[in-house]
Structures are given as structure tokens and as C-alpha cells.
Structure 1
Amino acid sequence: MSGTEKGTYTAQARKLARIMHDGGCAPAKIGPLMVRIGETFGVRVSRAMDRRTIRRAVEEGGVAARMQTIYELSQSQGVTISADSTSNRGINIESSHMNLRVPDYTSGNVLTDPNSAPKVHFLGVEKTIDHSSAESVRGWNRRMQENIDLFNRSPLARRLERQYSVGDWLRILRGMHGDHASAEKSTAAGLQEQKRNATIHDLGEDVSSGKSYLELVEYLGAWNTKKIVEVGGLEAWNALSPAEQTERDVKMMDNIVTVLGREAYNALNPSDRRRIDLFVWGGCCMHKDLNSFKGGNNEMMLEWKKLGVAGPILLANKDNTALLQNLLDPTRPQDAVLTDDQLRAFEASTRGGVKTAALAGAIFNNKDDKKGQADRHVDFMTHALGLGAPHRRFPDTNNTRFGSHGDAAAELITYLPQYRQMMEVIQWSKQNPSLTNIEKNLRDALNDVPTLTELAAMAIYKMVITHPYLRQVRGPGTESTNHLELGPLHHSVRDHIQKILDNPDLLFSSDVRYQTATLDGLEWADSKAMKAVFELLPSLPHVKAITLAFFRGALTTWIHFSAEFAPGGLINTCTATKKQLAWMPSTNDANEGALGAYRVIIRGKPSLTLHQYNAQAMFRRNQTQDFMDTIFTAEDHAYIMREARRIDASSEEAQRRKEIVDFRLKTAETQKTKVQKDAQVLCDNLTRELVPESKMGELTVPLIHEQLNSYRARGAPNLLANSTYKKKADKLAALTTASAWYAVNGVPVVVPSVPESASEVPAVIAEGYCDEEDVEMEEAT
């Protein structure tokens, strides 16, 4: 067996190449390995597959995965989708998945049992021109249309005698889930509107096909008359070119179908309308917990002032520490006045349990391997605790990780004496014994009672609410959990927090039991941490008030972020059948993981194109080889080979990059033009002659507006928008007031020159034109 047939590698050989590549073998190594494996089993492989052929075989797997997507949609009655985005090397990237019931291709019952289990299937990562919801909606349409075209041209579609369309997908689209960002919700709203329009179009088609010939002729006659009148009569119509007439005829037919469809839609009874309109939004449960923790922390930090006691120690960065050195001195006079620089440094500095957890993460598990004490921390804790195996790494607060700050608080409280000792070891083991500013901050925080109080409150909330909640939404055995079935869980979270607020003894009595303290009544997720917390409580005088404040803030956030489960809402009123049609996972982990995986892979393989990455990832995650083994024929294998060659030669990556560059150039030019226009308007307003009060009564309304604009440019206060003043008398009164103010407070006008480029625009004019990426970078700095 040579692995080739008429000079072309067989489907079995290409399958083996894909499997080996998916297992982690480098493309250049796969061919020689196949030869060696063949020798081992007594099979002669006469020619080793080269690296280019290996990559082409992987691309073929991606083509098959895209065909699989549409095939499974054509067999389904309901699908939901999800997405998330981030930036990588300055380019916005978006990951997408679909959730639907798919056949078990390995069971042999594909035809008899086509809806065996719900699955989350990967649709790929795409580069987008921006982070807007409009671009995301366009991306969904483009992605689906490309996959549909690929499927409709295939031998598989011919065998099934099926041509799919975007409208078919929209008809079975039952919902979307993701994080709670407004952009994701806007994307869902845009797709929901498209779904409704597709429904109306279908109803219109049904109504028009059901009309009799005479009814249709009469109806079309009325629309034709309207069409001719709109262009100015019969002569004007005849003067149009055939192409223009055809365009107007097509538009007229679309309008007819839309009108008929809307009439039919409005005539439906409410239950039928709800059935065809079903589109559910679900928010990621991990983000719900993350936001509740943030809400609890915000309320906890405010509680110190309400108690009238000193809060946690200030943890200023290196620069601010130098400015605040005198302020941090306990012998400093209490009535000393801060300078402006000291005030800014004080307001920019942070404190508290969350900040301490972040500092500890930066020291003991820094994302930069050349910084911090990562391995020294593990070795020290292993030695200090007398463990046979290495101590676990510190929670990864230095990266974005769900729940890491709560875990860090529990870790610091559990091993507080050891961490205090470690800070001394760090100081005195240096050649010149000292602590850096961040190390000094952590040492001081670990010896500060209010900071320890916040850490204890964070650890308690983590063990009482977060861990029990996460066990039920993403713990073992929850892979098939339907997000739409989690309403009772979220109601129980709110009820349990309220129960603790009403009866704090559940946490602070002398005989606290996990059976009544935790959300699910199960044992503490970390019994050592809770034991350490309870031992520390007597030394923390305000821990009860601070912890209850945390729970109070978390409750408010839980109510806000679980609004989709409100009584009487869409999810609450859905039947069991509808909930199954709109099945969606409880978290958005699939997209979070896909984006992270792409960033890691592209870091090590910078020349890997996006369609190559997607082909590899979709093939693996969607179990596409099982689909191919069950469904494909020799004709299908030949088709995906041709399509893979076409995609390879299409330069899709380069075209997408060009689109992104063109968009940025167009945006820059548009912004530049707008800024220049605004600058010109400002110059006009500042150079316009002001009319004396004695002649204001002679002004027309447009001239009054010009005068108001001139005073507004000169800084006149309390001037509303011109359209706000409905009567001329009101406009004149505002103008008189502005004139009186200017007579007293007017200053010489410095007229700026109109800039020739955006870089010359004064900051006061240019503000508001920076994009989202600039803002994020500014905040990070």
C-alpha cells in the first residue's frame, strides 16, 4: 500500500495526516513519520507526504467542517449562537460558536436519531474592522453566506436535494448568549430584527402565492399605478432605461411581499407570533458572578466611611509614594493641607483587599516570567508547610481569570503567617536587604487589620456563594446544562444572600455550619480557608459589618445581572419545548477559550494564516472526521480538495487585511474632515461681530442663532441648545443674558487657525474623536 492512487494521496492518507497534525505533529515531520509507522506494521509507503500537502489536507478538514455546519443546521429545528471579541496586535478579532442538537456520527443511527445531544460547535475566529455591533451582524451574515455557498455547491447538497439560505438559518435561530456588554446585546437585537424581517418575508410569499390569478392581477395593477406616479407619470417611466425599470420593479415586488407579510403577521394570534418570534438572550453565568463580586467590593469599600472608622492602608504606586511620603507619616499634623500634586496622587492610589490580592498575584505569579517570585514562592510554601509535593501556584490575579481575587484572598488568609514570613525572607535574602515598593505595600497590607478584614469578607463570599454557584453552572456533569433552566438557581442565589443579610448568625455565630451557610448546603470548597477565617475573626472588629456590606452590594448586582430570569419574562414563560429549541450553555467559556487559544498559537506561529487556524480548530472541536467518515463519499472528498486549493489561492487573509486598512484610512479621513469643519465653525463664531443689545430686536431667528453660537464659543454659561428655545422671545432673552454676562466677564478672543491636519487640532476640539482602543490604552497607562 503506497497511500496514493493515480499520483494523488488517498482520502485515508489525508485523514491520517489530519489526525497526526491535530495530535500536535509538525507538518514537516508527519510525512517521514507515516513512512516509519508503515515500516513498523509492514506496510510500504513509497512516498513521504510533504509539508505543503499536509497543510492542504488540514485545509480540507476545514472545508468539511464548514459543510458540516450547514448540514447540521439543515437537520435542526433550533439553533442559538454566541460570540465574543478582543484585540490582538491592534486588530479586533471575534470568535463565534453555534449551539444545536447534532447527530452522534459514531453510533450508526444518524438517520433514525438525528437530534441526539446538544453540542457547542466552533465557527472560527475572524478579524473585524471594528468592535461595533453593526460589524458583528455583518460578520455573522458574511460567515453564514460563505458557508452556505460552499455547501450548496457540494455533491452532498445535490444528493440531499437541498439548497440552504440565510433565511433558513434565521428561521431556526432561537437566541444568542454572551457576556453582558452592550455591544453583544446590540448584535443580538440586530439579528433578532433580521429574523423578524425574514419571517415577514416568508408570510408575504405565502400570502401572495395563495391569491387567485384575478386577485393578483388587480393587486399588481394598483401597485404598478403607484410605481408610475412616483416617477412622475407614464412618460417619465418610459424615459427610464430598462435597467432602472427592472430595478424599480424588483423593489416594488419586495415592497408588496413586505406589506402582505406584515399584514399577515399582525393578523396572527399572540401565541403563534411568540412561537415564530422566539429569540432568547442569555448572559454568561461566569460574568454574572464576576460582576456580583465587583458590586460587593464596591459596597464594601464604601462601608468604612459609613462606619466612621479608618479604612485599609493606602497602597500607592512608586511615583505616588514619593509624593505622599509626608502624608503617610503617622506623625503628620492632621490639619496639614495637601498640595495639588499630592491630592491627585492620593485620589489615584488604591487600597483594600482586592488591591492586595492583585499585588500578591503580581509578586507570586506574574504573567511575565522574568518578574516576581513565582518559583521561589512555590518552593518556600512547600518547605514552610512541610509538603511532599510542590505547593500550588498563587491564584492568577495578574491575568484576567474568573474568581482569582477571591481565591487569592482565601490563600492569603489561610497561610497568613507563612506569607508574612515570606515577605521578611524576600527582604533579608537580598544582597542589599530591602523591599521594592510593591513588596513593601504587600507586607504592610498583610499586617493591616482593615485590609485583612476585607480579605476575610472576600474569602467568606467566595466560599458561601461563588463556589457553590459555580459548581452548579460549570462543575462536573453540567456540560449539557441549559442556561434557560437556571432561573430557579438565580432566584435561590438572591434568596440566600437576603437570608444571610436578615440573619447574620448564619455566618457569625459560634456554631457556623456549612449546611446552612453555603448556597447549596454542601461542604466548604476550601475547609482550611474557612477554618483560618473563623480563627482570625476575633481580631477583626468590623468584619461583620464589612462582610454584610459585601453581600449587600453583591445582591444588588445579582438582581441586575439576572434580569433575564425575571418572573413573567421571556425565559420564565417559555415552555419546556421552546427551552430545548433555544438550548444554550450556561457560560461563554467556549468563546473566551477560543480567543485565548488563538492568541497563544499565533504567538508561537506568527506566519499561520487565519483560515489555516480555523480549519485546524474547527476540524478538531467539531469532531469533523466522524462526520466525514459517516457522510462523505469519494465525490465529497474530491470536492473538498478542489475547494481547499481555491481557498489557498484566494489570498483571503490579505484581502481582509486590506479591508481593515481601508476602513481605518477612511475613518481617519472622515474624522479629520469633521474636526476641521468643527474648527472652522469655532473660528467663524469667534470672529463674528457681536450685535449691540439695542439692535437685538431687529435680528431674525437665524441671526439670533448665530449670535448665540458666538457667545457660546466665547464661554457664556447656561446657554441651552438653540432648538430648546421654542419662541423668538425666549431666544432673545437668552441672547440678552449672554450679552450681559459677556459685558462683565468677556476676555480678549484668541482665534485659532483652522488646522490642515488632525494632529494640529486643539485638544478641546479633538476630544471625543479618539477610538475605543485609545481609551483603553490611556486607562491602562
Structure 2
Amino acid sequence: MHRKLPDFCRSLAATPSMFFAPDAVDFPKRFTLDGEPFHDRNVFLAAQALAPQLPDLTRMISAMFSGAAVTWIRFTPEFAIDGPIDLIPRSILPKLYIPSTNDHNEGPLGSYRVHIRYHPNSTPESFSALERYRRNNTESFAAKYITAEDLLYVMREVRKEDASGANVAFRQAVVEELERKARVQREKVRMATEKKQKREELLRATGLEQDREKIRKMTVPQLKQQYDVYKLIIKDTVILKTTLVSIPRRQDKLDAVLAALERYQENLRTDVIPATSTSQCVTDTPEMDSDTEMVDAEGDEFADEAEEEELYH
């Protein structure tokens, strides 16, 4: 059957209009690989009813099945004639166990997500029991082998398990774990917010230097502070798109700060930035001593978290 899939998909892709023929629902063999009737005719009828509202639907169907044909060829080489599966003796096939997916948990976990969506009060235990009941055909087994005494015993055991409170304890443990994670996350957010506020306060106290000569004499840490003023306080649109890592050398930082200053002053001249909104961070930067060590452009290293912590604390 797998070998038929590419041709089947190509056939549907070539004639998407047949999905909307008035009698299409009465001829399921045209649309099902195994020739069996539709599982739900109403789905097909609903799609036909919505078709007038979707002018590109036939092209979408054609594109979907064309792509599926190509993909199935890539997915099913093991089913080729004289391939590894084709050469397995027919007497062995019934004894083989092949997972329904390439992930042992994918199928059951996906089913559980759907189950819990429609049964939010259900538990993993009840879902597992229902799945075992369905997969093992327990109903037929019980009808054939279970006696009234067996049934009474099972009912008593179930009542004992329910009375033990195991499910209640499990749910409580889940709730407590979720609450713990929420507390940890809230604390992380609080600490990050507090750290950001302190950093912005320090930058506002540092101020925005507008004297280009003073800027050209700045050390790398001072340039980083000016860079952060533009990024966190002024919100310069260009600086916001860069990082200190992208401007590793001192000259790169100097150029970025001078360019940001030019944009800032131009915006002030055109009233893009109200002067009152930035007055708090525009202060004079103290004069540097003549002995202040200038960091050579070749010696400037990438900024890292530890360096910034030392700078602002």
C-alpha cells in the first residue's frame, strides 16, 4: 500500500476539482487509498459547503498533494520492491512489532493531550487504563473469561485504590510543583526588573555627554556607559539593533557613540525628541585626568556579563 501513495497523491493533485463534484461523497474510492468509505461523510460535505468562500482552494489542494507525493517518495524507500521490508518472509510479518511512530512516546503523548483537552479532570492513570482497555480489547476478553466473582474482586480493588488517596496525592504534588515553578519565575522577573532599574538609575546619574572632544578622550568603560545611555535611556533606534559584541574595538564603540550623538542632536533640532524628556540624563561628564589610560583599539576585548557587572556595581 505504501508504494501506491505517491501515485495516489499525484492523481489527487492533478484533479482537485473532483473533490467538489456533486456526487463526490458517494464515490469514496476516488479519494481513499484503501477504497473504503469515509470515516465521516459530514467532513467532506462541510468542505464542499465552504468551498465557495475559498477561491484558491483547488490550487491549495493541488499544491498539498503534489508536495505529499514528493515527500512520500523520500519517506518510503524501505517499502520499495526488493527492499528490506519487501524481502521479509510473510510468515514473520505477523510476529513483528513496529512502533506507530519513530518516537515511542509521540503517539501516546499526543493522544493524552487530546484526551485531556476534552476531559480536563481526567488523570494519567485513567487515560492509561482506557488506552489499555481499547488496545488490548479487554471488553471481549472480559465477556469470554471474566466471571461474576472476578468482576466483584476487580470492583473491590478499584474501590480500595480510590480510597487510598493516591490520585489526590499525585494531583496535589503536581499543583505544588507548578506553584514552586511559578514562584521561582516571579522571583527571576523581580530580580531582573530590579537590576534593570538600578542600571538605568546609574546611567541617568552618569548622564549623556555631548562634548565630542570629551567623548574622543573616553576610555572603553566610559564609552560603554554612553552606549548604554543611548540604548536604555534615549532608545536610539540604531543602537537598539546592535550589541557591544558587534563593536568589539574601542574605535568601533567611539564611532557608534559619536553617530548616536549626531542622531540625537538632529532629532532635538527637528523636535523629534522633546528636550524635557531627556534633560534628566543630559549632564556634564567629569573631566578625565591626563593620566587616564586609553585602551588601545587592538587590545579591546569582547564585552561580557562579568565586565558589565563590575562596571555598574
TM-score normalised to the size of structure 1? 0.24
Out of 584, 590, 594, the position equivalent to 2:100 is 584
Q: Which runs of 5+ in 1 are unaligned?
A: 1-484, 630-636, 753-781
Tell me the percent identity: 10
Contact 1:515–1:523 (CA under 8 A) maintained in structure 2 = yes
User: What SS does the corresponding residue of 1:704 show, helix, strand or coil?
Assistant: helix
Whichever structure has more strand as a proportion of its residues is: 1
Distance 1:745 1:602, change over 3 A: closer
Counterpart in 2 of 1:666?
184
- Whether 1:549 aligns to 2:78 is no
Counterpart in 2 of 1:680?
198
Deviation per residue, 1:364-413 (Å, 9 max, x gap): xxxxxxxxxxxxxxxxxxxxxxxxxxxxxxxxxxxxxxxxxxxxxxxxxx
Out of 555, 563, 567, the position equivalent to 2:74 is 567
Quote the Cα distance in structure 2 between the aligned partners of 1:593 and 1:618.
9
Contact 1:566–1:572 (CA under 8 A) maintained in structure 2 = no
User: What SS does the corresponding residue of 1:584 show, helix, strand or coil?
Assistant: coil
Distance 1:572 1:550, change over 3 A: same
**Structure 1 residue 553: deviation in Å?**
5.1
Counterpart in 1 of 2:164?
648
Distance 1:731 1:546, change over 3 A: same
Counterpart in 1 of 2:263?
741
For 1:425-574, what aligned pairs fall within 5 Å after superposition? Answer: 486=2, 489=5, 491-492=6-7, 494-500=9-15, 518=31, 520=33, 546-552=56-62, 554-555=64-65, 558=68, 565=72, 567=74
Deviation per residue, 1:47-82 (Å, 9 max, x gap): xxxxxxxxxxxxxxxxxxxxxxxxxxxxxxxxxxxx
Deviation per residue, 1:728-768 (Å, 9 max, x gap): 2222211111000111224323879xxxxxxxxxxxxxxxx
User: What SS does the corresponding residue of 1:749 show, helix, strand or coil?
Assistant: helix
One-letter amino acid of the counterpart of residue 126, structure 2: Y
Alignment root-mean-square deviation, CA: 5.2
Q: How many correspondences in the alignment?
A: 230
Quote the Cα distance in structure 1 between the aligned partners of 2:194 and 2:200.
10
- Whether 1:722 aligns to 2:240 is no
Quote the Cα distance in structure 2 between the aligned partners of 1:494 and 1:622.
30
Distance 1:749 1:568, change over 3 A: same
Counterpart in 1 of 2:302?
none
User: What SS does the corresponding residue of 2:56 show, helix, strand or coil?
Assistant: helix
Distance 1:553 1:678, change over 3 A: farther
Contact 2:10–2:66 (CA under 8 A) maintained in structure 1 = no
- Whether 1:620 aligns to 2:133 is yes
User: What SS does the corresponding residue of 1:717 show, helix, strand or coil?
Assistant: coil
Quote the Cα distance in structure 2 between the aligned partners of 1:507 and 1:602.
37
Contact 1:498–1:555 (CA under 8 A) maintained in structure 2 = yes
**Structure 1 residue 618: deviation in Å?**
5.9
User: What SS does the corresponding residue of 1:567 show, helix, strand or coil?
Assistant: helix
Quote the Cα distance in structure 1 between the aligned partners of 2:231 and 2:66.
42
TM-score normalised to the size of structure 2? 0.52
User: What SS does the corresponding residue of 1:678 show, helix, strand or coil?
Assistant: helix
Quote the Cα distance in structure 2 between the aligned partners of 1:571 and 1:701.
62
Quote the Cα distance in structure 2 between the aligned partners of 1:522 and 1:675.
62
**Structure 1 residue 548: deviation in Å?**
3.1
Q: Which runs of 5+ in 2 are unaligned?
A: 146-152, 282-313
- Which of the pair has the greater relative contact order for Cα pairs under 8 Å at 6+ separation? 1
**Structure 1 residue 667: deviation in Å?**
1.5
User: What SS does the corresponding residue of 1:734 show, helix, strand or coil?
Assistant: helix
Distance 1:737 1:722, change over 3 A: same
Quote the Cα distance in structure 2 between the aligned partners of 1:585 and 1:686.
58
**Structure 1 residue 663: deviation in Å?**
1.5
Quote the Cα distance in structure 2 between the aligned partners of 1:498 and 1:593.
30
**Structure 1 residue 709: deviation in Å?**
1.3
Counterpart in 1 of 2:214?
695
Contact 1:515–1:521 (CA under 8 A) maintained in structure 2 = no
Contact 1:514–1:521 (CA under 8 A) maintained in structure 2 = no
Contact 2:13–2:64 (CA under 8 A) maintained in structure 1 = no
Quote the Cα distance in structure 1 between the aligned partners of 2:225 and 2:201.
13
Counterpart in 1 of 2:229?
710
Contact 2:203–2:228 (CA under 8 A) maintained in structure 1 = yes
**Structure 1 residue 674: deviation in Å?**
1.7
User: What SS does the corresponding residue of 2:15 show, helix, strand or coil?
Assistant: helix
Distance 1:548 1:612, change over 3 A: closer
User: What SS does the corresponding residue of 2:207 show, helix, strand or coil?
Assistant: coil
**Structure 1 residue 522: deviation in Å?**
5.3
**Structure 1 residue 566: deviation in Å?**
5.6
One-letter amino acid of the counterpart of residue 707, structure 1: Q
Quote the Cα distance in structure 2 between the aligned partners of 1:722 and 1:487.
56
